[in-house]
C-alpha cells in the first residue's frame, strides 16, 4: 500500500513539473544568411558561426566578436530572438550604436579625459565619448576582426592580438574569448588574456537584450533584480566621483524585483538618474571573496515568462537602460531600435578604475593571466 502511494506521489510530482515546462514548438533555427557576413574588413575575413545546444541557439560573428542572435523559448514554447543585432556585416559597419553585441576592450567603460598613469608614465587615449575614452576607443575590440581558433556545435573560440600602442595602451595583449551554449540553456563567456607589459584590462560583452524579442517594445516593464547593496555615483560625463554609495532609499535599489521603469519618474529630481539620462551606472556586486562566480542579476519579462539570470566572477555590473537608442538603427527583422527598448547588463570592473585608487585594480602584469567568466542563463516562469 505504501509503495502504491509513493508511486502515485511521484507521478503527481512529475505531472506538476511537466506542466511548468513549455511545450516547445520545433527547434530553434536562426534564419540568417552567412554570405551577408562574409566580408573583408581591414584585410581580414569576417564570417558568421552558428551554435546550438538544448533549447537555445546563437549566432556569433568574428567582426567585433559579436553576439548577432540568441534564440530562447517563452512559456508557451515559442522562440524569440532576445538580442539586438543586424543581418549583415554592413549593418554593423553603418550602425549609429557601435557596440551591438560586441566584445569590449581593452578597457570597458570610461576613462576620464582619456588619460591614466601607470608605473610613472602618463598614457593618452583617443576620446570617443565627449571628453572621455569609452570601451577601448574608436578602434576598440568591437571594431576589429577576431581570429577563429576553434568551433564546435555549441561553442566558438576567438582570439585577438592587441599590439603594443594600439589605442594608446601599453603592451602586446593576447586575448582569447570562448562563447559556449550549455546544456542548461545558458550562454557562457570565458575571457583570458596575457601581456608582455603592465596594462589595464577590463573585458566585457555589450549585448542589448529584450526578453520579449528584438524590437518588441519597452523594457521598462521587465522586472529586474540586482544583487548589489552599493552603486557608483557619477558626474555629468558619467565618470565616478570616487566612492560607492548605498542603494538604500534610492531609485538604484534593485535588491527586490521591480519594474525597470518604476522609479524613472524621479529623473528630473534625482541627480544620478539625470546624469545618466536614466540608468547607466555600475553596481557593486555582493561577494564574499574576490573572483568567485556568483549570481549578479535577474531579468523577467512577465508576458513571455522569459527569465534571464546573470552570473559572473566580476565585481561590478553596468546596468544600461537603452537611454540613447533613438530609432536610427534598424535590426535584422526590419524593425527600429527605439528609446528604452533594450537593456545591457555588462559584467566588469568599475568605471575609470585606472584613475580611482579605491576601486579594484584592473592592471595586468607580465607573467599573470587575466581570467574571468560570465553566464547568461535562460528559463521561464
User: CA-to-CA distance for 68 and 86, rounded, in angstroms?
Assistant: 7
188 exposed, middle or buried (CB, 10 Å; 0-12, 13-18, 19+)? middle
Please name which of 32, 18, 17 lies closest in space to residue 71, comparing C-alpha atoms: 32
CB 182 within 8 A of CB 65: no
Would you call 281 a catalytic residue per the annotation? no
The full DSSP string for 341-381 is: S-BEEEEES-TTGGG-TTSPP-EE-TT--EEEEEEEEEEE-
Strand partners, 200: 363
Catalytic position from the list 206, 222, 281, 349: 206
Instruction: Find cell 565619448 and name the residue.
Output: 129
CB 275 within 8 A of CB 236: yes
Catalytic residue at 346? yes
Count CB neighbours of 375 within 10 A: 21
Catalytic choice (222, 341, 346, 349): 346
Give the residue among 85, 90, 99 at the shortest CA–CA distance from 40: 90
Residues 6+ apart with CB under 8 A from 120: none
d(CA 231, CA 67) in angstroms, rounded, equals 27
For cell 608582455, what's the residue?
A: 196
Distance CA 228, CA 295 (A): 10
Cα pseudo-dihedral 260, 261, 263, 269, rounded to 10: 120
DSSP string, 33-80: -GGGG--EETTEE--EEEEEETTEEEEEETBTTEEEEEEEE-TTS-EE
Instruction: Report the C-alpha gap between 293 and 58 in whole angstroms.
Output: 23
Residues of the chain by 3-state class (helix, strand, coil), percent to 5 = 15, 40, 50
Q: Which sequence positions are flagged as catalytic?
A: 206, 346
Amino acid at each position: 500500500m505504501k509503495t502504491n502511494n509513493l508511486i502515485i506521489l511521484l507521478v503527481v510530482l512529475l505531472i506538476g513539473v511537466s506542466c511548468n515546462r513549455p511545450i516547445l514548438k520545433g527547434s530553434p533555427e536562426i534564419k540568417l544568411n552567412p554570405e551577408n557576413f562574409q566580408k573583408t574588413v581591414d584585410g581580414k575575413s569576417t564570417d558568421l558561426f552558428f551554435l546550438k545546444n538544448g533549447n537555445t541557439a546563437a549566432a556569433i560573428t568574428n567582426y567585433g566578436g559579436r553576439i548577432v542572435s540568441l534564440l530562447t523559448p517563452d512559456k508557451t514554447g515559442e522562440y524569440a530572438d532576445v538580442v539586438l543585432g543586424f543581418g549583415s556585416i554592413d549593418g554593423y559597419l553603418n550602425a549609429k550604436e557601435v557596440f551591438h553585441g560586441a566584445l569590449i576592450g581593452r578597457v570597458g567603460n570610461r576613462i576620464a579625459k582619456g588619460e591614466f598613469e601607470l608605473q610613472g608614465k602618463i598614457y593618452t587615449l583617443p576620446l570617443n565619448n565627449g571628453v572621455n575614452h569609452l570601451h577601448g576607443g574608436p578602434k576598440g575590440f568591437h571594431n576589429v576582426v577576431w581570429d577563429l581558433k576553434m568551433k564546435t556545435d555549441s561553442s566558438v573560440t576567438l582570439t585577438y592580438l592587441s599590439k603594443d600602442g594600439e589605442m594608446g595602451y601599453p603592451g602586446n595583449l593576447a586575448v582569447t574569448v570562448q562563447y559556449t551554449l550549455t546544456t542548461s540553456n545558458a550562454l557562457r563567456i570565458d575571457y583570458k588574456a596575457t601581456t608582455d607589459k603592465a596594462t589595464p584590462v577590463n573585458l566585457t560583452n555589450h549585448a542589448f537584450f529584450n526578453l520579449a524579442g528584438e524590437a518588441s517594445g519597452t523594457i521598462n516593464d521587465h522586472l529586474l533584480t540586482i544583487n548589489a547593496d552599493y552603486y557608483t555615483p557619477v558626474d555629468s560625463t558619467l565618470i565616478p566621483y570616487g566612492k560607492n554609495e548605498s542603494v538604500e532609499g534610492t531609485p538604484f535599489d534593485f535588491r527586490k524585483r521591480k519594474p525597470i521603469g518604476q522609479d524613472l519618474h524621479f529623473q528630473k529630481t534625482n541627480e544620478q538618474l539625470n546624469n545618466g539620462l536614466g540608468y547607466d551606472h555600475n553596481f557593486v556586486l555582493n561577494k564574499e571573496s574576490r573572483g568567485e562566480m556568483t549570481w549578479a542579476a535577474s531579468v523577467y519579462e512577465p508576458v513571455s515568462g522569459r527569465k534571464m539570470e546573470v552570473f559572473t566572477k566580476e565585481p561590478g555590473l553596468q546596468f544600461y537602460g537603452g537611454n540613447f537608442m533613438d530609432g536610427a538603427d534598424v535590426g535584422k527583422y526590419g524593425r527600429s531600435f527605439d528609446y528604452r527598448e533594450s537593456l545591457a547588463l555588462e559584467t566588469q570592473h568599475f568605471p575609470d578604475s585606472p584613475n580611482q585608487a579605491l576601486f579594484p585594480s584592473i592592471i595586468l602584469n607580465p607573467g599573470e593571466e587575466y581570467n574571468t567568466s560570465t553566464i547568461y542563463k535562460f528559463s521561464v516562469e
